[in-house]
Amino acid sequence: MNSVAKSLLKAVKCSPAGWLRSSSTQGGKRHLPKVVLGIETSCDDTGAAVVDEAGNVLGEALQCQREVHLKTGGIIPLVAQQLHRENIEQVVKEALSVSGVSVNELTAIATTVKPGLALSLEVGLDYSLKLVDKYQKPFIPIHHMEAHALTIRLTNQVEFPFLVLLLSGGHCILAVAQGVSDFLLLGQSIDIAPGDMLDKVARRLSLIKHPECHSMAGGKAIEHLAQTGNRQQYMFRLPMQQYRNCDFSFSGLQNLINKTIVQKEKEEGVQEGELLSCVKDIAAAVQHVVAIHIIQRTYRAMLFCIKNGILSPKHATLVVSGGVASNQYIRKGLQTLANANNFSFLSPPPRLCTDNGVMIAWNGIERLRAGLGVLNSTEGIRYEPKAPLGIDISNQVEEDSIKVPKLRKILQLAS
C-alpha cells in the first residue's frame, strides 16, 4: 500500500478532511503539476477534492447527509438536493483551501454528471458550470461508476484490463475495465442494488431502535449485528439460479426476507416497528445470502473472462469498489474466491469505497492524461440520472452458459 492509501486510511470517515503534499520549488517559486478539482453530488454526500497528476491528494472535504436521512427512513431527493445546495460552496472552498491551490491554478474541473439522483446531480453540475464559466477552465464530465472503477489506480499500481465489481446502494455491476473509458459490461442488477436492499431490510427490522445500531446506516447495522448472529437459523433461497449469466436480482430476495419477518412477528407477538428477539440471526442470514449471490455471479464472470481470453489467467485481477465493498464479510468472501482462482484481489480503502470527491478528481486526472472527454465548451452538457457503463456483452455471457462449481463449494469459500 502506498503513502496515498495510508493517508486515506487515517482520514476520518464522513467528516471534512484534507492533507497536504509538498510540491517542487525552484527559486522560491512553487511549480504545480496538472491539478484537477473533483465535485461529487450524485446521491446524498457532497464531496470535493483536489488531486494532481501524480496521484497526490492535495485537499478534500466531504459533507455527509447520513444522519438526516436516517431520521426520514431513507433518502428523499428533494431533501438531498436542498442539503447539497446548502453545503456545496463551503465543501469546495474547504477542499481548495486545504490544498493551497486556487481556482486559477486548476488545470480542469471534473464533476459527476451521471448516473445518480437527478436533483442531486443538478446541484453539482450547476455549481461546476458557474465555476468553469467564471474562471474559463476546461470541464470534464464524469461517469460515477467509471470513477468508482478507476479509484483503485489511485491507491495501487493496476494495469488494464481488470475485472471490476461495483457494489453500492444504487448499483451492482460486473465489468471489465479495458481502459480509462473502455468497459465491457458483463452483468448488472435487473432490479434494485444490494445496498438498497440491505437498507430496506434494516428499516423493516427497525434496527435504528436497536441499542447497538441507533447511529448506523442500514447496511452497516446489518453487518454489525450479523457478527454475533447465527446465519444457519434462516435459509433464504438464492436468486436467479436458473439463469447462467452475470446479472443480479435482489427485490425477490427482499420479499422473501419480509415474509420471514412477518412470520416471526406473529410468532413473537410483536407489532411492525418493534424489535424482534432474533434480529441478529436474520441479519446474519441476510448478509450471507447476499454475499453468496454476489460471489456466484462474480465466479461466472471470472470463468467467462478467462475462457474468452479477455483476461490472462496469469495476471488476472479482481477489483471490488463501491459502498457495499466496505462490508467486510462480503469482501472476505470475494477475496477468498479470487485467491482460489489465482486472481489478485484489490479494493480501495473503505474511506474511498463510498462516494467522495477524490475519486471524481482522480477520474478527471485519468481522462486528462488520456485526452478523453476534456471539454472547452460546456454547451449542451446535461446530467443523466440513468447511464450505462461501457459496451454491454451480457448476452454473450448468457450464451456461453458457464456452469460454476456446486453451491456447496461456493458456500465453503465464504464461510
pLDDT band for position 159 (50/70/90)?
very high
Q: What is the pLDDT of residues 29-73, one digit of tens each?
A: 455 589 999 999 999 999 999 999 999 999 999 998 877 777 777
Decide if 271 contacts 265 (C-beta within 8 A).
yes
Provide the 3-class DSSP secondary structure of residue 360.
helix
Full set of structural domains in the chain with CATH: 3-151+353-370 (3.30.420.40), 162-347+391-414 (3.30.420.40)
Average pLDDT, the chain: 90
Give me the pLDDT at residue 406, please: 73
User: Distance of alpha carbon 410 from its chain centroid, rounded?
Assistant: 24
The residues that bridge with 37 in the sheet, in sequence order, are 50, 109
Residue 376: count other Cβ atoms within 10 Å of its Cβ. 10
Strands 172-179 and 182-188: antiparallel
pLDDT band for position 215 (50/70/90)?
confident
Phi, psi of 111 (to 5 degrees): -145, 140
Q: What is the pLDDT of residues 103-128, one digit of tens each?
A: 999 999 999 999 999 999 999 999 99
pLDDT band for position 235 (50/70/90)?
very high
For the chain, what is the radius of gyration of the CA atoms?
Answer: 22
Tell me the mean pLDDT in the region 155-166. Answer: 97
User: Which triple of cell numbers denotes residue 226?
Assistant: 450479523
Tell me the mean pLDDT in the region 162-168. Answer: 96
Structure letter (DSSP) for residue 102: -
Give me the pLDDT at residue 25, please: 34
- pLDDT higher than 90, residue 27: no
Please report where in the chains the cell 442470514 appears, as a residue: 285
Q: Which residue has the higher pLDDT, 30 or 378?
A: 378
How far is the C-alpha of 106 from the C-alpha of 52, rounded, in Å? 9
Tell me the mean pLDDT in the region 396-411. Answer: 83
pTM: 0.89
Tell me the mean pLDDT in the region 339-356. Answer: 93
User: Which triple of cell numbers denotes residue 119?
Assistant: 436533483
Tell me the mean pLDDT in the region 245-270. Answer: 97
pLDDT band for position 413 (50/70/90)?
low
